[in-house]
């Protein structure tokens, strides 16, 4: 089953086939999930069909009007490195890094990458926020101090599990708000915009708070062994292969 909702919106997953209770999760436009059962529930505009769907919830249902049948398989579960398949990078700052990974950015990762390196989605999702207003020749395009903190170009994706991910300091943004982005697809090119000392990628999984930058949260990358969490100085190789 594939989710089909208007750009920029998500499909709420309910604990019962009804809108009476708060959602237990959400699915991005274009997300593919397995259907466990077809049931009758609350009728909306004379439609009472709901689907019980697999996911990170004890029991979840979605309204039939916002989905379509597909034989495509769901993507492999989990989060992967934000690097193109087979590419390698050094983690220049990991979780709780002493330079800037504290507070809201505590669980972020910095990857040392040359200018213009493609960054890809760590998981499928829909673009909830994007900014590409810092251009070549602007004071903060090649980096700067705290005065440039609000000048970073970035992309934020909303994921099917209700969390989000943020990709910052981009030289180029390759997606638009409302666009569905499969895991492994390019979201932008690395740069040094904003508060930055040189070209790199700042990537974080974060709470889905509805804003571009939310509290970062822990993430374990499927393609990082043994524990999924690379340390500062570690060289990693991406298996984020669409």
Q: In the chain, where are the structural domains located?
A: 2-68, 88-237
Q: Is the dihedral of CA 117, 121, 126, 127 positive or negative?
A: negative
Mention every residue, 6+ apart, whose C-beta is less than 8 A from residue 31. 2, 3, 11, 124, 160, 180
Q: Kindly report the number of other CB atoms within 10 A of residue 231's CB atom.
A: 13
Fold of 88-237: Glucose Permease (Domain IIA) (2.70.70)
For residues 31 and 67, the model is more confident at 67
Distance CA 113, CA 168 (A): 13
Judge whether 238 and 83 are in contact, CB under 8 Å: yes
Mean of all residue pLDDT scores within the chain: 90
Between 167 and 7, residue with greater pLDDT: 167
Across 108-132, average pLDDT: 94
Which tens digits make up the pLDDT trace of 9-44? Answer: 678 899 999 999 998 877 766 778 899 999 999 999
- Evaluate if residue 218 carries a pLDDT over 80: yes
pLDDT category of residue 76 using cuts at 50, 70 and 90: low
* Three-state DSSP class for residue 66: helix
Q: Which CATH fold would you assign to the domain 2-68?
A: SH3 type barrels. (2.30.30)
| Structure confidence at residue 171 (pLDDT) | 97
């Amino acid at each position: 089953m594939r989710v089909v909702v208007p750009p920029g919106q998500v499909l709420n997953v309910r604990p019962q086939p009804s809108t009476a209770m708060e959602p237990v999760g959400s699915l991005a436009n274009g997300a593919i999930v397995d259907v466990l059962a077809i049931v009758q529930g609350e009728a909306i505009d004379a439609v009472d069909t709901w689907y019980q769907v697999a996911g990170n919830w004890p029991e979840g249902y979605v309204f039939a009007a916002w989905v379509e049948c597909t034989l495509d398989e769901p993507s492999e579960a989990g989060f992967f490195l934000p690097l193109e398949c087979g590419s390698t990078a050094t983690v220049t700052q990991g979780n709780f890094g002493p330079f800037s990974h504290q507070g809201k950015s505590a669980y972020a990762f910095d990857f040392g990458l040359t200018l213009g390196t493609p960054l890809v989605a760590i998981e499928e999702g829909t673009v909830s926020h994007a900014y590409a207003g810092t251009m070549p020749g602007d004071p903060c395009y090649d980096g700067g101090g705290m005065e440039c903190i609000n000048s970073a170009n970035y992309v934020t994706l909303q994921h099917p599990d209700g969390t989000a991910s943020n990709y910052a300091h981009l030289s180029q943004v390759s997606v638009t708000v409302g666009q569905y982005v499969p895991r492994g697809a390019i979201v932008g090119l690395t740069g040094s915009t904003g508060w930055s000392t040189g070209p790199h990628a700042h990537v974080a999984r974060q709470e889905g708070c509805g804003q571009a930058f939310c509290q970062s949260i822990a993430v374990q990358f499927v393609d990082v062994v043994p524990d999924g969490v690379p340390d500062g100085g570690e060289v990693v190789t991406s298996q984020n292969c669409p």
